Structure 1
Amino acid sequence: MKTVPMGTAPESTTVEQRFFRYGPYTLLGLAVLMAALSSGLTGMSAADKYTAGVLTGAACGLQLWWGRVRPATTPQTPAAVVYYVLRTAIGFALCWCNPFFSIYAIIGYFDVAELLPKRFVRAGMLCTAVTMAGSQSGSGMPPASLPNWVAFGALFVLHSSLALLFGNIGAREAERTRRQTETISALELANTRLEQALSENAALHAQLLLQAREAGVADERRRLAAEIHDTLAQGLTGIITQLQAVTSTADPALAREHLDRAAGLARHSLGEARRSVRDMVPAALEDDDLPGALKKTVTGWAERSGVRAEFTVTGTVEPLHDEVGATLLRIAEEALANAARHAGATRAGVTLSYMGDEITLDVRDDGCGFDPAAPHPHSGTGGFGLGGMRARAGRIAGTVEVESEPGLGTAVSARVPLVRRA
């Protein structure tokens, strides 16, 4: 197995590489054969034959040396330059002995770009052109007569032009090949990066799907928690209040009235619970628009809590999207429930205002008030009420603001986009 020095690539086995390895021997053998057959025609003297034999041996020795050195030598190194120069000089000298040795000298055209640095390629071609023109001028080297010199000049111009032409074509082809190689490398790199990006995007997509699924689950849990708080919790609170009123009165008629209210609240809470699970609109909005549902809600709350309450509508009433109406109705119910449970209010007011592209709901009471900056106001409810209001409004791009001070009552203001019913 051939040893390849570190940092060099294994020797190619392409047709071109095989030609550069064995071609010089073949061409030299053909040249020797043709020179021997034509020695009488070309007038080779004994000295020329002896000289040609010595030069042929030198050419073989040079080729053997290069065959051993070449695998460990990169192109255009000093060793390659020495090999090309010596081979060209031997070819020129052989053509001086017999023109048919140009068969061997012509190889200088083929590997000049591989062996010589770029700035010396044309000079190498011109040297080979001198040898080829001299061997083809009719009398060998040097030309013997004026016509031979004219023929030499014409042939030299022809060989030089062809050599430079094909050299330029080869250089352009090599440059185009280099650019194609660079383009292919760039495309492979781009494809690799694209595959990496697609892989990363796929992983990110899967992660986003998982996060969206988790967010959807969490959002549904918050919705159900808010619905349970706004329906079951408030209904049970009202039922407990009515049952407590039954135990504290001796009047059978009044006790019956409280029991009827408790039963009505139980039925209403059961229906609302079923609607919450099915994500349906509140029952109050099935037969009435939002102002009508709010008016009934405020009236019913006033009767149950014994607090005087007023309801006002401003602006032009418009049909609202079910989600907008349900959100404002639930916020009103929660704000009134907080006023009854915690504020100790004697008066309350609810105002619904239609204002172009927005609709606002204001719930005010004259109760004890609280500090909105304090953590978890109304700790009896776990702090869910105010947070639930803001969460409901936030789901439809709305806001809820609370203004309150201890002893000065509370005002809850919800502002949401006015989305009309399709």
Structure 2
Amino acid sequence: MKASAPQPLSPTQDEDPAERAAELTELLGHLTACWDEERRQLARRLHDSLGSSMTALTMHLGLLSSHLKEQPQRDRAAQMKQLLNNIIETNRKMQLTLWNDKLEFLGPKAAIAELVVEWGREHGIKARASLPDDEPEYSRAQGVTLLRCAEEGLRNAAAHAQATEVDVILDDDGEQAMLTVRDNGIGAGEDAGNSLSCHGLRLLRERARLLGGSVTLGPGPEGGTALTMILPKQA
């Protein structure tokens, strides 16, 4: 007797769509938390092992160079030192891309400020950060999500907006935080909302939803594009 082909699994009639959505939201929260923790651990290992080793090598090379007498040897040692410095800088940028330590030790305000400065220098675009005078209190999940919003907004400005100026603005009234990344580029256009379907923005929207917040993408007040995230302080 010929065996029948297996049938695809389908939800049972008793399965509640709302319950299923809640389960998926919980799973997404767990996955993003694990992802963030893995990035933090990898950045820490790069700092503790590779970064420390490269710094020690630079010091040893400097000591060795001080005993070299012939100019060709001194020139070669200088080239080696520059190469090590380049590796150290690349390692530092990799660490910052994976995880910003200032987020944990100094808070989102300091982490966002550093991100904006580094991004503006790297892309040659005038980037400004407008932040609260005091350091607002956020949970770790809220701080990470705000930083990811700033990263995504800057990434999109560099890739699509053709902007020459970008502003990152963090407002906090004690009840909710609102982070906006706006540029003076070509604008989001009529289909701005559809841009949220791309993977980076879609994941950002789900991160915000998990914390009871929202993400919108649309035209800025003076043209260009504005990405805005709103997070309640108590979800």
TM-score tier (shorter): 0.5 to 0.7
**Contact in 2 for aligned 1:371/1:377 (Cα 8 Å):** no
Distance 1:226 1:401, change over 3 A: farther
Q: Deviations over 1:383-419 (max 9, x none)?
A: 11221221111111111121228x9311111111124
Q: Which residue of 2 aligns with 1:349?
A: 167
Cα distance in 2 between the residues matched to 1:211 and 1:363: 29
Question: Is structure 2 residue 103 aligned with structure 1 residue 285?
Answer: yes
Q: Which residue of 1 aligns with 2:229?
A: 414
DSSP-derived class of the 1:339 partner? helix
1:369 maps onto 2:196 in alignment:
no
**Secondary structure, aligned partner of 1:377:** helix
TM-score normalized with structure 1 length = 0.36
Corresponding residue of 2:218: 403
Task: Give distance in 2, aligned partners of 1:399 and 1:211.
Answer: 17
Measure how far apart 1:262 and its partner are: 3.0
Alpha carbons of structure 1 residues 388 and 212: separation in structure 2 relative to 1, 3 Å: closer
CA distance 1:259–1:348, shift in 2 (3 Å) = farther
Moved more, 324-333 or 309-318: 309-318
Most deviating of 214-223 and 327-336 = 214-223
Aligned-residue offset at 1:326: 1.2
Identity %: 26
Distance of aligned partners of 1:418 and 1:262 in 2 relative to their CA distance in 1, 3 Å threshold: same
Match of 2:142 among 324, 327, 343: 324
CA pair 340-258 structure 1, distance change in 2 beyond 3 A: farther
* Contact 2:107–2:135 (CA under 8 A) maintained in structure 1: no
Q: 1:320–1:419: 8 Å Cα contact kept in structure 2?
A: no
Unpaired runs of 5+ residues, structure 2, are: 1-13, 43-78
Mark the CA change 1:211 to 1:303 in structure 2 (over 3 Å): closer, same or farther: closer
Alpha-carbon distance between aligned partners in 1 of 2:156 and 2:86, rounded to the nearest angstrom: 21
User: Aligned pair in 2 of structure 1 residues 209, 350: CA closer, same or farther (>3 Å)?
Assistant: closer
The answer to which of 213-222 and 317-326 deviates more is 213-222
Aligned residue type for 2:228: S
After superposition, the C-alpha distances for 1:296-334 in whole angstroms (9 at most, x for unaligned) are: 111111111111111112465432222111111111111
Return the offset for 1:369.
2.1
Q: Does 1:262 align with 2:80?
A: no
Q: For residues 347 and 218 of structure 1, do their structure 2 counterparts lie closer, same or farther at Cα, with a shift above 3 Å needed? A: closer
- Matched residue, 1:309: 127
Distance across 1 between alignment mates of 2:123 and 2:37: 21
- 1:266 positional shift: 2.6
SS of 2:204 mapped into structure 1 = helix
Taking a change above 3 Å as real, the CA distance of residues 315 and 369 of structure 1, as seen in their structure-2 partners, is same
Look at both structures and tell me which one has the larger radius of gyration over its CA atoms. 1
Task: Note the alpha carbon deviations across 1:229-286, whole angstroms, 9 max, x for none.
Answer: 9xx9xxxxxxxxxxxxxxxxxxx9xx968765433223444x54xxxxxxxxx53311
User: CA shift at 1:227, angstroms?
Assistant: 8.9
Count, aligned residues: 180
User: What corresponds to 1:387 in structure 2?
Assistant: 202
In the TM superposition, what whole-angstrom CA distance separates every residue of 1:197-255 from its partner, at most 9, and x where no partner exists?
Answer: xxxxxxx79x99988766644554466679999xx9xxxxxxxxxxxxxxxxxxx9xx9
What TM-score do you get using the length of structure 2 for normalisation? Answer: 0.61
Q: Is the 8 A contact 1:226 1:388 kept in 2?
A: no
Q: For 2:180 and 2:138, how far apart are their aligned partners in 1? A: 17
> What letter corresponds to residue 411 of structure 1 in structure 2?
A
RMSD (Å) for aligned C-alpha atoms: 4.0
**Structure 1 residue 374 displacement after superposition:** 5.6
More helix by share: 1
More strand by percentage: 2
Q: Which has the higher contact order (CA 8 A, sep 6+)?
A: 2
